Structure formats: C-alpha cells, structure tokens
Structure 1
Amino acid sequence: MTDEAFSAEKLADALGRPRPTEQQKAVIECAQGPALVIAGAGSGKTETMAGRVIWLLANGHVRPGEVLGLTFTRKAAGELSDRIRRRIGTLASTGLIPHDVDELDPPTVTTYNAFANTIFRDNAVLLGRESDGAVLGEASAWQLARSIVIESRDARLAEWDQTPDRITSAVLDLSHELSENVVDAARVHAMAARFAELADLPTGGTGQYPKALEIVSSVSSLPLLLDLATQFAEAKARRGLVEYADQVMLALQVIRRVERVAAELRDRYRVVLLDEYQDTSVVQTWLLSELFSGHPVMAVGDPNQSIYGWRGASAANLEQFATGFGAGSPVQEFALSTSWRNGHAILAAANRLVEPLLATTTVRVQELEAAPTATSIPVDVTFEETIAEEAASAAR
C-alpha cells in the first residue's frame, strides 16, 4: 500500500529502528483482511507484528484499544505488549499520533487462555456458572479427581483392576481431551458401545481379527472413565471451579449461546494478531474462527516449530486458516524467511533437518536464509552415551 501517509520505512526512521526488509514491509503494509504469515525461526516476527500495529495506528486505521494480540505465554505477551507501547510512546512524542492514546486506550495483548477466560468470566451467568470461581491447579485437580475415584462404588472399578492413582490419571487425561476437543461424553459413550459390538460379530471361517479385538479391548474401560470424568466435571461446576483446559471450551459455549457476545467482541477489536498459530488447539481454533471469521485477522506461525501436539494442537491449523477465517474468500499469504538469529552453517543444517517435514504440509514454507550479518561458525555434532556427558558436551 503506497498511498498511506506513513510508510513502514518512515515509521522505522522516526522510531530509530532498522528499516524493514521487503518481506517485513509487505506484512506491515498489507491490506486489511485475513492474512497468514509463515515466519521461520529468528525471522523477526515479534518486531514485524509490532511494526504492523504501529503502521495501522499511525495511518489512522485503528485506535490502540481496537487491537487484540494473542500468544501462548505471559512472557511473550508481555514482550509484544511492551514493544508496542514503547513504539506508541515514541511516536506520540514526535507528534505522529495523538500524545494521549497509550494511556487512555491501550492495546489488549494477552494469552489465548486468558482471553478465553475473560470471555467466560464476563458472561458466566449465561451458563449458570459463578464468575468469581477459582482456577483449579494441577495438584488440586488431582485431589478432586482422586476423591471421586476413591469414593466411587462402581463395580467396574474392581473388574478393571487398576490402582486409584492410575485411574485418576486416566480420568484427568480423558477430561482434558473432552474439553480440548469439545466432545460430549454421550457421543464417546455411543462410540465405545459400537466398538464393543465388534466382539459379538460371527467369527467366520478364519476366526476373529486380532486387530479388531485389540481395539475392542483398548476401549473396554472407556464407559467407566467417561462416567468418572462426567462426575469430575459436575464436581467442578458445583464448586465453581475451572481448570485451565476448561477455559476456552467455556468461552466457546458462551459465544455459541449468545450471539451478542461475539458481536461485541468483533466491534471492539477491529484488528486481531494471532501469534504461534501453529500451536493452537482444536477448541482454540474453533473459538477464534467463530469469533473473527472474515475479520482483519493476521495469524503468524511456522509448521516446523509446532510443540504442543501433546495437548491437541496441530500445525494443520495453518493449512486450514483460509477455511476458518477467509469467510469464503482467499486470504493473503506472506513469508518471513530471513533468520537474524543464526549463522550460515546452522541454517544449512536446520534446513536439511526439516526437509522431510515439508512433505507433510500443504503450507508453503520457504527455506530459511541467512541475514547479511550472519556468521559462518561451523556446526559440531556429538553423540554421547549418557545424559551427564551430553550436558557436559553442550556446556563446553
């Protein structure tokens, strides 16, 4: 966009920052609408996101309070928020934007779960819940789930022949999976019942299929665990308690039940930035897409840096971004592929290592390139026999 009052370069000069690369400039100055940015490791994504916000503010597209930025950790949220606030303060002192905007109308930069928890707590009464209930920590959740297991008189517990601790772990794991994937326990009950019917089928001339029986056996305890997980959820609700895994699911229930809540959030936040989008879970993706489909949402991520698969996250979210947020129209796609953090040899090794991953995704991932200032320090490879030796080798 070339007809704006302030270009990305002009703003960088005013802030005393290095001018953006052509890739960064394309992201910072892109047209309003859904956009996907594939940002490689060390490619300056935080600086680019901050630059995007400042460019929008300086050119009058939004006010600070109309910006929502979401990421995974409080540390990352604090870093992005601090960077944006400092840039706003500097620009205000130069007269490029109103002097009082930061104090009166700050951007909202927080974690995905904190944002969801705010939606839930502000509207808890709509779900018949308490808005001031405590967040249940891991230890307290364990104690509550274990008490349900210990106090249960279900005869199936004796038949399963597992220790209370193992059953408690299984109940918690299942409870979290139900929340993260927004699955109703009754549906899973029905699935388990259909699997159980396989054991009653005629064997035929060749006998029963071992694999089918193995599947039936693996889900045989599922009805019991579902009942215990349901009791666990009911106990939390009675006590007004919410687990970390429940926060997004409850927020999703709110916006699905009352359209007004979603409409108010869309009106409030005219620009949305989603950091580390490859690590969003199923329920997080549903919440965000149902809130902001067709909205000016910029998702930043990298399928090669996905680390939260253990809790339902999937880099496939990047592939499905256009479906979730495009509202039937194409989305803008950008890349940040210059790594400012690593030298030539490290990048060559990294590109070689992630090569097999490229065949598993339809997202266009560009090979990382070294910055003009990159070093050529060689890469050493060692294979130690023990953890202690490996630690000592890394420390040298």
Structure 2
Amino acid sequence: MPKAKLKPDVTVFEADQRQQEAIEHLHGPMLVIAGAGTGKTTVLTRRIARLISERHARPDEILALTYTENAAAEMRTRVRAELGGSETSQMRVCTFHAYCNNLLIRNGRNFGVLDDQDLWIYLRKRIRELQLNYFVRAANVGKFLFDLNDFMRRCHDELVGPEKYHAYVERLVRGELSIPRVTSSRDADSISDQEVLGRCREIDQVFQVVERMLSEENLGTFGHMISKAYELLNLTPELLSQERAATKFILVDEFQDANYAQVKILRLLAGEEKNVFAVGDPDQAIYQFRGASSAAFEIFRNQFSQSKVVALEKNRRSTTPILQCAFALIDKNPAIHATENNDAAENGGRRFQRRPLLSERDEKAGPAAIKDPVHAVSLTAKDAECSDIVHVIQQRRKQNACQWKDFAVLYRLHSHRDMVAEELAEAGIPFSIENMDISNTAEARDVFAIMGAMLAENDGASLFRVVATSD
C-alpha cells in the first residue's frame, strides 16, 4: 500500500529543531518537557500522523492517552486533519481512566463507580460500621471523611493497598520506622507517640473495612480503576502479552498530571520496546493534590532509564513581558528532576535547568514587537475584583476600539466563574463560558442517577446515589 500523505498544515506550523527532533523520534522512550504555548499538542499529533503515514504502525496499534475527553476528541480530529481526512477511528485516543475502565470491562472486572461526593455519602451513612474511636471524637466527622477519602485516593494513586499500609503500620509499632506526623494542627507536637500509633492503627482498620465493603457491593472509585487495571495486567501474563502485542506505540499528553500508578501501567504496556512518548510541563501540574507533580518526570526516568529528553523552549502565543513575568513566579517552583540530552552530553548529565521561554512572536516581529508590560492590580475587597475586570474591559474597548471577542477572562477556580459572569451580564457585556460541562454538576449527576436506576436493574452506583440523596 502507498504511504498516506500528510496534509499541509493550514496554520503553517514550522517546527524548530527541537520540535522536529521530537516529531521524528521513532523507537525507545522519549520525554518532552514543553512549556506553555510551545506547540506540544502539534508535536504530539504530528508524531502520531508520521507513525501512521510512514507505516510504522496502523492506527489501531497506537495508544494515545490524555487527561480529558475533550483533549482526546481534539487530538483525534487534528491527526485526521494532518492525514488529509484519512480514517483514524481505529486509533485509540482516550483518557487513562477510560483505557483502564475498558480493560476491566473486557475482562469482567468492572464495577459501579462512586465519585467523591458519592463516596462521602456512602461512608457517612455507614459511619457506625467504620468503628471509629479516635476520629469519632473529632469535632467534624464529615471533615474526617473528606480527609479519609483523600488518603485512600492517594493510596490508590501510589499503588498502596490495605495490605501494604497494614505492613507499614506494623513496622511503626515494632519501632522499625520513625513515627509520622499525622496532623497539621498547631498542637501536633503535643500529641504523644502512642496516640499517633493509635490513629495510624485506626486508619489501617478503616481502610480495610472500606475496601471490603466496596468490594462486597461491587463498587469502587476512579482510583480503583487505575489500581485494579494495574493489578490485572501485572498478575495476568497472558493478558499483558495481548495488550503489548496490540500496542506498538504509546503517547501521553499532559504527562505532568500522571501519578505513580499510571506510570507503572505505562511501563507494563511498553514491554522491552519501551516505545513511550510523554509530553508535559512540570510547572503546569494541576493534580498535585492527587499525587501528580514534577515527580512524574523523575519516575519516568527511573522506569525508562535510557529515555531521551527534549525541552521545547519557544513560546508561540505570548510576548516577552508576559513570559518574563510568568518565569519570575515559575522559577520559585521545585527543581525538575530530568536531564536534557544536550546537558548530558556536555556535562555528564545534570538536572534540567529551568529557563525562561523565548517569544517566537517577538522574534518574528523584531523591533515592532509589543512591549506592553504586565499590570498587577491589588484590591482591598474580594467583591471588587469582578467589577474592576468589567471596568478595565469597558475602558480598553473605548480607548483602543477593541471588539468584545478580543478579551478573555481567566479564573483560577470554577467557583469564581459565576461571580465574573454575573458582573459581565449586569454590565451588558456579551460573553460565553468555554469548557463548561453541565453534565458534571451535582444536579445533573442526580438526574442521570435516577435515569440509570430506572433503566438498569443492576446499576448499583446509580441506585445508591438516588437512595443516599433522597430526603
């Protein structure tokens, strides 16, 4: 069969030397450290298109992992465009959780999934069965359950099951390990070692009880999807061989959000070929509270010791003042545990040195480059932030004859969204909210649960949510 031809990129994306090195990489592990706006998604999709067009792999032999369904859909669309509309439906582009869930379903290991709110309700209604002693005396049992959920989720992210945690507590009791600090409160130092051990033992017992209850009712969490998939692959050699045979190349987007369990799954699937291509920016990790951080890069280097590392350094979106301002903050982050190829060759290998990104826009513009500085505004009242944003937009539009579409408002938390939207609406400013998934709201999940309980007799998770939230 003739090779598929790559369609010329309508955006005229011209890869620089480092981007081209990543795109043309073929066999073995590669880690691409890509800062914001450095073209990482284009590099990723072009590499996939190249693997297919040059017949290194069929579409169904490629596994591309992302962290959102929207990102997966966008990647598939962009690869199809790169290939001139060629069929890519057989290419596996999905989230880590979707891959693991599909693996469990295909092997009869699927279960009803409880989200964070569902699990909290589940445990609150069974609080007596947990047989709490130390923590039942807590002023806020509900807060303890939230903390317990976080603890168990982190355990699954780190592949620490009840048995492993129990062994850890036993070593604490025997004095083989130092006593941990189990609270962040100011009186932590006043808590005796015996009470700390008592709390650890209670958490040990509760962890085992919760896991047993969930197993008996065939329920689990998103963390269980990952840990159970790893366990299935690790303990079933025949299945692992099948998955490896079906997967010639693995690509991972937003790798900074990967945790230990996910990297271990990658290592299992990669086999001896180790054809894993991971792209990410440790300074953009949004799941640090879930066990993801720049440590993912160090774990990758440990699991794939011969991996190549490429750092993309040209930002295609922002101006130099913005990049310099961002770097002033980013440079305060912990060091990145990875070595860049050039450094390894010249200096015998050293830790990757974080550097400010270069503005490609300013390079092309030359002396005409925009030099407007970044303005920081401090306000004395939280409520004044949104009104100030509206005021700035109105003033800029009058002074510079800008259009409404020229403005963008970014918010750190989704909870801030409604406040901004309300101010914009009151001022008569037209706006749209991007990436808002109403199906993921608590109200929508309740409706879906009712529908699921009505339509499927064995939908235990939906039935539980309906019963748990009913008055």
TM-score, normalised with respect to structure 2: 0.69
Q: Take 1:184 and 1:13, find their aligned partners in 2: how far apart are those partners?
A: 50
Count of residue pairs the alignment pairs up? 358
2:14 aligned with 1:19: yes
Please report how far the alpha carbon of residue 386 of structure 1 lies from its aligned counterpart in structure 2 after TM superposition.
2.3
Contact 1:149 1:164 in 2 (8 A): no
Q: Take 1:51 and 1:28, find their aligned partners in 2: how far apart are those partners?
A: 6
Pick aligned residue for 2:59 from 49, 56, 64 = 64
Deviations 1:9-37 (A, max 9, x none): x9463767433222222211123221111
Please report how far the alpha carbon of residue 48 of structure 1 lies from its aligned counterpart in structure 2 after TM superposition.
1.1
2:143 aligned with 1:166: yes
Contact 2:266 2:276 in 1 (8 A): no
Pick aligned residue for 2:166 from 170, 173, 189 = 189
Residue number in structure 2 paired with 1:202: none
Q: Take 2:132 and 2:19, find their aligned partners in 1: how far apart are those partners?
A: 62
Pick aligned residue for 1:369 from 358, 361, 364 = 358
Please report how far the alpha carbon of residue 288 of structure 1 lies from its aligned counterpart in structure 2 after TM superposition.
1.4
Superposition map of 1:253-268 within 5 A = 253-268=231-246
Tell me whether 234-243 or 179-188 shows the greater mean CA deviation: 179-188
Q: CA distance change for structure 1 residues 194 and 334 in 2, over 3 Å: closer, same or farther?
A: closer
Contact 2:336 2:353 in 1 (8 A): no
SS of aligned partner of 1:335: strand
2:347 aligned with 1:347: no
Please report how far the alpha carbon of residue 272 of structure 1 lies from its aligned counterpart in structure 2 after TM superposition.
0.9
Residue number in structure 2 paired with 1:334: 310
Q: Take 1:278 and 1:215, find their aligned partners in 2: how far apart are those partners?
A: 36
Contact 1:150 1:164 in 2 (8 A): no
Deviations 1:165-201 (A, max 9, x none): 2343343233223212211324433443554567xxx
Please report how far the alpha carbon of residue 65 of structure 1 lies from its aligned counterpart in structure 2 after TM superposition.
1.2
Q: Take 1:216 and 1:85, find their aligned partners in 2: how far apart are those partners?
A: 61
Q: CA distance change for structure 1 residues 350 and 159 in 2, over 3 Å: closer, same or farther?
A: closer
Deviations 1:34-69 (A, max 9, x none): 111111101111111111111121111111111111
Residue number in structure 1 paired with 2:94: 110
Tell me whether 337-346 or 230-239 shows the greater mean CA deviation: 230-239
* One-letter amino acid of the counterpart of residue 357, structure 2: L
Please report how far the alpha carbon of residue 155 of structure 1 lies from its aligned counterpart in structure 2 after TM superposition.
6.8
Pick aligned residue for 1:36 from 31, 39, 45 = 31
Q: CA distance change for structure 1 residues 360 and 37 in 2, over 3 Å: closer, same or farther?
A: closer
Q: Give the alignment's Cα RMSD to 1 decimal.
A: 2.8
Q: CA distance change for structure 1 residues 33 and 279 in 2, over 3 Å: closer, same or farther?
A: same
SS of aligned partner of 2:277: strand
Contact 2:134 2:199 in 1 (8 A): no
Q: Take 1:121 and 1:37, find their aligned partners in 2: how far apart are those partners?
A: 32
2:293 aligned with 1:314: yes
SS of aligned partner of 1:120: helix
Residue number in structure 2 paired with 1:179: 156
Tell me whether 265-274 or 383-392 shows the greater mean CA deviation: 383-392
SS of aligned partner of 1:273: strand
Superposition map of 1:1-12 within 5 A = 11=6
Deviations 1:283-319 (A, max 9, x none): 1111212221542111101121122110111212212
Q: CA distance change for structure 1 residues 295 and 194 in 2, over 3 Å: closer, same or farther?
A: closer
Residue number in structure 1 paired with 2:260: 282
Unaligned runs of 5+ in 1: 93-100, 199-209
SS of aligned partner of 1:334: strand
Runs of 4+ in 1 over 6 A off after TM superposition: none
Q: Take 2:118 and 2:292, find their aligned partners in 1: how far apart are those partners?
A: 25
* One-letter amino acid of the counterpart of residue 325, structure 2: A
Identity %, equivalent residues: 25
* One-letter amino acid of the counterpart of residue 266, structure 1: R
Residue number in structure 2 paired with 1:95: none
Contact 1:34 1:331 in 2 (8 A): yes
Q: CA distance change for structure 1 residues 239 and 289 in 2, over 3 Å: closer, same or farther?
A: same
Contact 2:331 2:354 in 1 (8 A): no
SS of aligned partner of 1:221: helix
Tell me whether 108-117 or 218-227 shows the greater mean CA deviation: 218-227
